[in-house]
């Protein structure tokens, strides 16, 4: 089968759409007060956004973006290496470095590019990169593109990491790559142990703090939460979460940043961040610095919802981040729960393999009001009974890392569960 022709064999998304159970690519058409949005003409409370501090619609941020577009135009019109470097980029880099307590910073057009640039830009043939098995996809791709030998270690297992490092040959550089806050489970990396292991085995530690920066430790992120910012050589982050924009940055020593300015291919061979995105991130950073209560409010709201959902009987792991995963069961049950909640005016993210085992990944922001949180709790309470009433076959539907939204095969009794789904989900 030719490469283009085999795309026609992908039918799972069409199956899910025909059942009203396709949870991806919802088209949002507006934002209301707090964490309210409009999707498909319906007003919903969004509980899956990365806008942790509620700054994406803050007038100070939107006006900064608009003013930058008026002054600089809509784009930089080139690579930063040549003609697309703006004084605005450098101003943001200076303030990022100062706020996060690192000597220098380098701004990229996306958070994905920042992680890619840091890992692939620093490593070369003969090096070894050890990656946590649940690290973000950008870090996985970065390791694969780095030309280094890639090794995987079990999630947050520093004993196994130490054993892997000890077994490596003596030649070649060593890099360990982790998330500060893992985007699917919402758990923190064991940073003190990681720092110790990397120090013992002379490995460079890279922490991607996309979900911790701006929220934890007064906004200073995961490394600051542990008091270990000086002990982490390279930190990457994204602007698409707490910083209400699009883009990313790498933080480190001046020698590291100067090297990446010339060897990070996502920077050298891509246009720089747009003026509007850069100005929005800069203004958001200043608000984070001046209003640290926003991160605490997001964490307080997440704690409140962890307690509320656990009290309803949902399986919710412990944590102290804005991310609250809710284990519903397999892919089909997760998709049904997503639809039942959407019908009740609550939008959460349905996570499916291979990104992660199936779950509802909720996140809570500083902008969620207590009334909105109560409404979300009520919606989760309302769907408990209809979910329990669905006699869905467990066999063959369990989460796997090889398929998206697996529907029952030809040999499974489809009529029973299909009738139940259609009864609940018109």
Please indicate, yes or no, whether residues 219 and 264 belong to a single structural domain of this protein. yes
Q: Which of 290, 321, 338 is the last residue of a domain?
A: 290
Domain boundary among 274, 290, 306: 290
pLDDT: which is higher, 71 or 38: 71
User: Do both 259 and 333 map to the same domain?
Assistant: no
- Report which of 114, 366, 365, 100 is spatially closest to residue 221, judged by C-alpha positions: 100
Q: In the structure, what pLDDT confidence band is assigned to residue 172 with cuts at 50, 70 and 90?
A: very high
- Are 63 and 142 within one domain? yes
Q: Are 144 and 155 in a shared domain?
A: yes
Task: Give the range among 3-12, 81-90, 206-215 with minimum mean pLDDT.
Answer: 3-12
Confidence of residue 171 (pLDDT cuts 50, 70, 90): confident
Residue 156 confidence class, pLDDT cut points 50, 70, 90: very high
Mean pLDDT of 63-71: 98
- Residue 205 sits in the same domain as residue 244: yes
Tell whether 282 and 350 lie within a shared domain: no
Mark whether 286 and 298 lie in a shared domain: no
Average pLDDT of span 82-106 = 98
Per-residue pLDDT at 405: 41
Q: Which of 31-40, 79-88, 155-164 has the lowest mean pLDDT?
A: 31-40
> So what's the pLDDT on residue 59?
96
| Out of 47-51, 219-223, 404-408, least confident range | 404-408
Q: What is the mean pLDDT of the chain?
A: 91
Same domain for 189 and 243, yes or no, is yes
- Decide: 65 and 58 in contact? Cβ < 8 Å: no
Q: Are 365 and 214 in contact (CB under 8 A)?
A: no
23: nearest Cα among 377, 334, 324: 334
**246, 265: one domain:** yes
Report the Cα 19 to chain-centroid distance in Å.
28
Residue 212 CA from chain centroid, whole number: 10
Give the pLDDT score at 392.
Answer: 56
The whole-angstrom separation of Cα 76 and Cα 289 is 27
Q: For residue 272, is pLDDT > 50?
A: yes
Least confident range of 55-59, 265-269, 368-372, 405-409: 405-409
pLDDT of residue 399: 36
Domain tally for the chain? 2
Percent of the chain residues past pLDDT 70, beyond the cut: 91
Same domain, 328 and 229: no
Is residue 381 scored above 90 in pLDDT? yes
Q: What is the predicted pLDDT for the residue at 359? A: 94
pLDDT tens-digit series, residues 181-223: 999 999 999 999 999 999 999 999 999 999 999 999 999 999 9
CA 306, CA 316: separation in Å to the nearest integer?
Answer: 7
pLDDT at 116: 97
Domain that holds residue 46: 5-50+293-424
What is the tens place of the pLDDT at every residue in 279-311?
999 999 999 999 999 999 999 999 999 999 999
Better pLDDT: 397 or 107: 107
Rg of the chain over CA atoms, in angstroms?
A: 22
CB-count burial class (<10 Å; 0-12, 13-18, 19+) for 199:
exposed
- Domain stop point among 244, 261, 290: 290
The model's confidence at residue 389, banded by pLDDT at 50, 70 and 90, is confident
Q: Is the pLDDT of residue 266 over 70?
A: yes
Residues 225, 319 contacting (CB under 8 angstroms): no
Where residue 368 sits, what CATH number does that domain have?
A: 3.90.1150.10
pLDDT of 82 reads 97
Check which CATH number belongs to the domain holding 234 and give it.
Answer: 3.40.640.10
Cα–Cα distance for residue pair 115/178, rounded to 1 Å: 11
pLDDT of residue 390 exceeding 80: no
The answer to whether the beta carbons of residues 44 and 37 sit under 8 Å apart is yes
- Tell me, yes or no, whether 21 and 131 share the same domain: no
Q: Is 244 helix (H, G, I), strand (E, B) or coil?
A: coil
- Say if residue 305 is in the same domain as residue 285: no
């Amino acid at each position: 089968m030719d490469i283009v022709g085999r795309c026609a064999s992908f039918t799972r998304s069409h199956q899910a759409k025909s059942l009203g159970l396709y949870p991806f690519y919802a088209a949002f058409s507006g934002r209301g007060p707090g964490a309210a949005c409009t999707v498909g003409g319906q007003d919903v409370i969004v509980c899956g956004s990365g806008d942790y501090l509620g700054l994406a619609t803050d007038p100070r941020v939107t006006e900064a973006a608009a003013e930058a577009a008026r002054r600089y135009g809509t784009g930089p019109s080139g690579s930063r290496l040549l003609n697309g470097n703006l004084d605005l980029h450098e101003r943001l880099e200076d303030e990022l470095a100062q706020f996060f307590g690192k000597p220098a910073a380098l701004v990229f057009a996306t958070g994905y590019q920042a992680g890619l640039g840091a890992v692939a830009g620093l490593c070369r043939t003969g090096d070894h990169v050890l990656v946590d098995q649940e690290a973000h996809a950008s870090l996985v791709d970065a390791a694969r593109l780095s030309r280094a030998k890639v090794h995987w270690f079990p999630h947050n297992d520093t004993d196994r990491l130490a054993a892997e490092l000890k077994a490596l040959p003596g030649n070649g550089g060593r890099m360990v790559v982790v998330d500060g806050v893992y985007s699917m489970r919402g758990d923190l990396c064991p940073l003190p142990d990681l720092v110790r292991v990397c120090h013992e085995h002379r490995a460079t530690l890279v922490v991607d703090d996309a979900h911790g920066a701006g929220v934890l430790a007064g906004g200073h992120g995961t490394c600051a939460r542990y008091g270990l910012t000086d002990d982490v050589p390279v930190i990457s982050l994204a602007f698409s979460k707490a910083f209400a924009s699009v883009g990313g940055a790498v933080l480190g020593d001046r020698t590291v940043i100067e090297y990446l300015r010339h060897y990070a291919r996502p920077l050298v061979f891509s246009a720089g961040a747009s003026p509007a995105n850069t100005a929005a991130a800069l203004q958001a950073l200043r608000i984070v610095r001046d209003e640290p209560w926003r991160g605490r409010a997001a964490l307080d709201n997440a704690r409140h919802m962890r307690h509320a959902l656990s009290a309803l009987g949902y399986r919710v792991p412990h944590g102290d981040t804005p991310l609250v995963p809710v284990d519903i069961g397999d892919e089909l049950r997760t998709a049904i729960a997503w639809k039942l909640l959407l019908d009740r005016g609550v939008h959460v993210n349905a996570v499916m393999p291979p990104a992660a085992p199936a779950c509802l990944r909720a996140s809570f922001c500083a902008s969620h009001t207590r009334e909105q949180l109560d409404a979300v709790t009520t919606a989760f309470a309302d769907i408990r009974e209809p979910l329990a009433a669905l006699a869905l076959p467990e066999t063959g539907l369990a989460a796997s890392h090889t398929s998206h939204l697996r529907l029952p095969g030809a040999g499974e009794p489809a009529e029973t569960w299909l009738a139940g789904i259609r009864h609940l989900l018109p």
